[in-house]
A and B are shown apart, each in its own frame.
Chain A
């Protein structure tokens, strides 16, 4: 059975290991210095999609991402690993969106896309950390959701069977298709790039990126539809202006503070028996221990 699979993904700043290079002198983050990466849990979702494609030859995987035009980079990355094509949903008016407005925009794009059997996405992105967009898209499309998925065990007869990893154990559920499945970081890691696919697709570009190509490269792309990544705007997906961007966001950011820990006056000791014994005695004397 060939499946139409949509994978939702996001290009995010790498917030996981903020090194000294990304820190300004006052201890705050320099966001521009953080590399832009494929959101980690979306890669886990992509692997589940690739797994489904392996088991169902003839299936197609389309990556859908909402972001800046440069998010086309993650579409290429997904294609190198086995996805078939992708769409960048990008438009100035979509910017400033909270999770609800984002979900609305993406749901509109899915509706425009049309025929799909299953939608996969990572549980959450490492910049917002909300885990809200997946379930909200499912609600807007009026289809079931399965979150915290660790493994898709089976898909047949219009149902998907999923193993979920919860706080205190595991649960196996069966949901009718189409549905949205969000995938944990504890799921299987995404397979690496396939060298042949990299060769074949390295010039896959979106319309915004065509301008940067040489004439020779432009000619290559023009003659090969599989190298043409799609770029959709708000009007194309029939987005209601009241429901997108800042206007469509019920939540507003009132203020932001950088997290800078106030340094304490620390007492520094060496690994010296006498010093350690003194510390222990002091903690016993003031009833912290003992």
Chain B
């Protein structure tokens, strides 16, 4: 359905999520943010809105409504896909000047981290990157004594992950935040939920001058590896020692029906691929069982797996930092211990 852009319909001050759309699918990170956005919008008593900019956007709203979206803005034009900065920024900047959202969320992806700052700079709004948590709360400015209610608390690690900061934007709007994939949980709100669709005319939001960057070539391949949802993860660190030794971890994973993950050090050393990297610059996982093999436990890694229900650490260094958060610590060499785990599992399982 098409709606005319009227003042009466376009109410202001809502929470809006910029959604990424590729190959006919809304990105997981966008759905995770809609889940969070739905909770925050309900708490604030405002609508949850989504905006999708690109091409071939027919029926994209069917993927969005179940997450509790009240209104979907669509801006469709051949030139708007694939993403380039200025056109998408122009849409958001011009739309936000009309609808004045109080909060805008986007994925901390290559797109979100390119687009967010461009938009926030133009609107002079605050932007916090890579948030690990979002809440609504009150704030008192220490210097002026002014009090604020219902602000977005943007919580994120900084200083290489060694501190966690809570950031607020008391005065400027919209309050903008980006969040990495897998940090928030994706959950359907109501499969039958329906909202409105607003088709925006691209020519009113983007001008020809915005199309300055030309994409000459593109090789994008969605990785076949997705370890995020695996209930058991066998992860290897630099201590595994070699790409060949990583085979032991694959054996254990196959035996247990698990996925294989890795620390950044192991990926950087070429033991396995980046898609398996767990941590601040990789994926966040929360399996029921996490078996860390030869992982020392840098803070940036722990940030990506600390919510695991049970953690086993196999390490020949009894003082490895990861041991302090492990439920079970096996002091020994990965190449000795892992085969034993496989052997005794096969022996004792049905």
CA distance A103 to B326 in the complex (A): 42
Which of B118, B121, B232, B349 is most buried by chain A, counting CB atoms within 10 A of its CB? B121
- Asked if A86 CB lies within 8 Å of chain B CBs, one says no
CA distance A279 to B314 in the complex (A): 13
A256→B121 contact, CB < 8 A: no
Which among B33-41, B53-61, B331-339 touches the partner chain? B331-339
A145→B85 contact, CB < 8 A: yes
A136→B331 contact, CB < 8 A: no
A15→B159 contact, CB < 8 A: yes
Chain A 226-242 against B: per-residue CB contact (8 Å), 1 yes, 0 no? 00000000000000000
For residues 310 through 342 of chain B, which have their beta carbon under 8 Å from a beta carbon of chain A? 310, 312, 318, 321, 323-333, 336-337, 340-341
B160→A129 contact, CB < 8 A: yes
- Asked if B243 CB lies within 8 Å of chain A CBs, one says no
- Asked if B191 CB lies within 8 Å of chain A CBs, one says no
Which among A42-50, A64-72, A111-119, A169-177 touches the partner chain? A169-177
B153→A254 contact, CB < 8 A: yes
Q: Given A145-B85, A148-B114, verify A250-B124 contact (CB < 8 Å).
A: yes
Which among A3-11, A73-81, A206-214, A266-274 touches the partner chain? A266-274
Chain B 135-174 against A: per-residue CB contact (8 Å), 1 yes, 0 no? 0000101000000000001100111111111111111100
Q: Given A15-B160, A289-B256, verify A276-B337 contact (CB < 8 Å).
A: yes
Q: Count chain A residues whose beta carbon lies closer than 8 angstroms to a beta carbon of B.
A: 76
Q: Which B residues are in CB contact (< 8 Å) with A275?
A: 330
Q: Which B residues are in CB contact (< 8 Å) with A31?
A: 159
A168→B331 contact, CB < 8 A: no
CA distance A13 to B212 in the complex (A): 37
- Asked if B248 CB lies within 8 Å of chain A CBs, one says no
Q: Given A135-B121, A251-B168, A259-B299, verify A169-B218 contact (CB < 8 Å).
A: yes
A16→B212 contact, CB < 8 A: no
B158→A128 contact, CB < 8 A: yes
A250→B172 contact, CB < 8 A: yes
Q: How near does chain B come to A97, taking the closest CB pair, in angstroms?
A: 12
Q: Which A residues are in CB contact (< 8 Å) with B309?
A: 288
Q: Which A residues are closer than 8 A to B by beta carbons? A: 13, 15-18, 29, 31, 98-100, 103, 126-136, 138-140, 144-148, 161, 164, 166-176, 249-259, 261-264, 266-271, 273, 275-277, 279-281, 283-284, 288-290
